[in-house]
Structure formats: C-alpha cells, structure tokens
Amino acid sequence: MTEAPPPAGRIVFLATSPRVALGLLSWPAWEVLRAADVVFAGDADHPHIPYVEQATGAVVALPDHSPAMAAERLLEAATPARTVVWLAEDEEYDEELAVALGNRLVATAAAALPDLEVLPGSYDLPGAHLLDLVDVMNRLRSPGGCPWDAEQTHASLVPYLLEEAYETVETIEDGDPLAPGPGRDALREELGDVLLQVMFHSRIAEEHEADPFSVDDVADGIVAKLIRRHPHVFGDVEASTAEQVAENWDQIKAKEKRRTSVTEGVPTSQPALSLIAKLAGRVRKSGLEVPVPTAPDLPKTPDELGELLLATAVAAVAAGWNPEEALRTAARSYRDRIISVEQELARG
C-alpha cells in the first residue's frame, strides 16, 4: 500500500491594520498563530510581537534580511506539514517578499510546494484613516515637528479656514462633483483641506491648560447634536418631508440655545449679502414684520437679479464707495430693527 504524501507546507501572510488596537486580531488569525510552527517578522519592533509571543511562545525576527533572503528562510521553514506565518507590516517590503517567494517557487523543482495565502488579521472600520490624520497632526505640533505648525493659533488659522471653505465651494460650483474625473479629485482634495482645519484647531484646543478638548470631544459633540436634531430618525417624531425636518430642527435648536431673538446665532462676520439673506430668512420664518426700504421691481429671473446686483456694485465702486461696507452697514441696521420689533412685541 502506497503511503500518502505528507500535506504541503503553508506560508501565511498575516495582514493587520495599524489603526486597530494592538493584540486585537480576528479569531481565524489567532487560530493560525497558535497552530503555527514558526512565526517570522521583518521588524524586531513589530507592534504585535509581544501579543503573538504570548500565544505562540516565540517570534523569529529577520530585521536585516533582504526580501530574497527572507523568502529563503520562509521556504526552508515551510517543510511539508508545517505552517509558517509572516507578520506583515511594511507594505513595500512585503510586496517584494511576495515577489521573491513567487520567483523561488517557480524556479524550484520540489514535488510539494508550500501553499501561499494572505489572512487579514484585523480590518479598518469606516473612518479609521482619520486616526492617521490625528497622528500626523500630533507629530507636526510636537517638539521636533514643524516650526510653522507649532506656532499657529486659533486666530492665525482663521484666514485659512475661510479660504479652504471658499475653495471648496468654488470647486463644487465650477465642476460636476458627481462626474468621475478631475472634478471629483479636486473636491476630495479640498474637503481634505477643510478637514485639516478642523483637526488643526482641535489639536490646538487640546493644548489648553485650563479647558482642553480634543477632536474626539468635537466628534462626540456633533454626534450628540445630530441625534438630538433628528428625532424623526433616532426617536418617535414624525417628519416625512424636508420642510418638516427643517422646522423641527429650528424648533429644537431654539430650545437648546434659549434664544430670545431670531438674530442670535447669525454670524455678522460673513459677507454682507449672505448676512442679509440669512437675517431675511429668519424674519420670514418667524413671521415678523420688519420695515425695510422700498425695493425696485424685482427682476424676472435670478440671472437678471445677479446682473442688477453687479451693476449696483460696479456703480458704487465708480462713485468711490465700498459696496461691501455699505451693505454691511445696512445689514447691521436691519438687524437692529429686527431686535426692536421683537422687543416691542415682547412688551405687548
């Protein structure tokens, strides 16, 4: 009776995510590690080594081996019926190692070639790459990091926050963000720049001696707010239209902020035209009757309105006036009249 040949050896590349807590591996990964005959690592400081050693007894580190030399060691260890695990970490090195292994297997005439497989030991959850941004920002702000980043403050970053927001708006307006291609690439980049500003301010806030907060606190706050402001999703409130959702949002926001005027929460530092539009929208929703100068006949289309506003601004500049300052003065006056109407109504 012919004796069955021993099963082929097995080389397993164990891939892990640096964004998952150390030692937190999938059950299949631990099963493979505990059953392995030998575990190799390309770096003696591989972060998972202490945890793997507890389960396997030892890890053989090959920090000074080239990918070709490491491939030889793996093949030597992966004799029939033996399982060899490689703790993957450096993507470039691991790719070169895989190529070297493939070349050696193609060139060998061995009857029983070891099986090669990749086993994910841990996975990135959605949003996990934000941890990379946290690490980079910490390094930039820490001693030995970037001198320019280290000296920035909330106030010094304000121009960049505004600039990145405007550039994002321009990218959306100038292209089709839904169409694949340069437009989406540009939008992704601009959103990254806006995200950087949020992370930058959060990192600066973390350094405050008396009242520090981190990006986690920022995220916790907006999560809690979104849940409160969407009771039709997270509660039992009915809201089947976007208009009902907006109305609920405004009501909840007013209760939370305990505002006594519709002008509260409207930033006066925004461009004058946006400021007036925001104030007018608040007045319209509240039903207040606030006196305003008599307006000329409204053009028939938004494009015609834009041309009228353009012509007015150009004429103002020709007269030596600053149209932004003039409109901002009018906006502040409009805000004061709104408050006066509210106070009169409150007095009865």
pLDDT of residue 277: 92
pLDDT of residue 177: 63
pLDDT of residue 109: 59
In sequence order, which ranges of 142-290 are alpha helices (DSSP H)?
147-150, 154-174, 182-206, 215-229, 231-234, 242-257, 272-286
CB of 156 closer than 8 Å to CB of 200: no
Q: Of 92, 16, 97, which Cα lies nearest the Cα of 51? A: 16
CB proximity list for 158: less than 8 A, separation 6 or greater: none
218 by DSSP, 3-state: which? helix
Do strands 38-41 and 60-61 pair parallel, antiparallel, or not at all (unpaired)?
Answer: parallel
* pTM for the whole structure: 0.73
pLDDT along the chain (348 residues), means of 10: 64 90 89 91 89 85 88 88 89 90 76 82 90 95 95 95 92 77 86 97 96 95 93 89 86 81 88 92 89 84 92 94 93 93 86
Structure tokens at 159: 């121009």
Spatial distance between the Cα atoms of 128 and 186, rounded to a whole number of angstroms: 22
Spatial distance between the Cα atoms of 61 and 41, rounded to a whole number of angstroms: 5
Long-range contacts: 319-327, Cβ < 8 Å, 24+?
Answer: 324/271, 324/272, 325/272, 327/272, 327/273, 327/276
